[in-house]
Amino acid sequence: MKKGNKTESVDDLRPEYDFSQLKGGVRGKYAKRFRAGTNLVRLEADVARVFDDDASVNNALRSLIRIAKSQVKAAH
């Protein structure tokens, strides 16, 4: 005989959360990107203030990668 699952679901949401007022939510909105392997990264606020958009973040990271690779080659 199997033991039943005796854990009870506890509703720990605050009463002021009124989900009936949420509009426009789309289930699976980013699922296609996720399956495609897109990585989403959250920047800390101080870092995000430095960049205007995602292209500038990517350019800065590519520059850093080039610098790091050149330093590794120079060390050998």
Q: What is the pLDDT of residues 18-76, one digit of tens each?
A: 877 878 888 888 888 778 876 778 999 999 999 999 999 999 999 999 999 999 888 87
What pLDDT band is residue 1 in, cutting at 50, 70 and 90?
Answer: low
- Nearest 10 degrees: CA dihedral of 52, 55, 57, 61? -160
Q: Is residue 12 part of a domain?
A: no
Containing domain of residue 53, as a range? 28-75
> d(Cα 51, Cα 42) in Å, to the nearest integer?
13
Counting the structural domains of the chain, the total is 1
Q: Is residue 17 part of a domain?
A: no
Q: Is residue 48 part of a domain?
A: yes
Task: Indicate whether this model's pTM tops 0.95.
Answer: no
> d(Cα 43, Cα 37) in Å, to the nearest integer?
19
For 1-76, list the strands marked E by DSSP. none
Q: Given this model, what pLDDT does residue 61 score?
A: 96
Q: Given this model, what pLDDT does residue 51 score?
A: 95
Q: Given this model, what pLDDT does residue 3 score?
A: 60
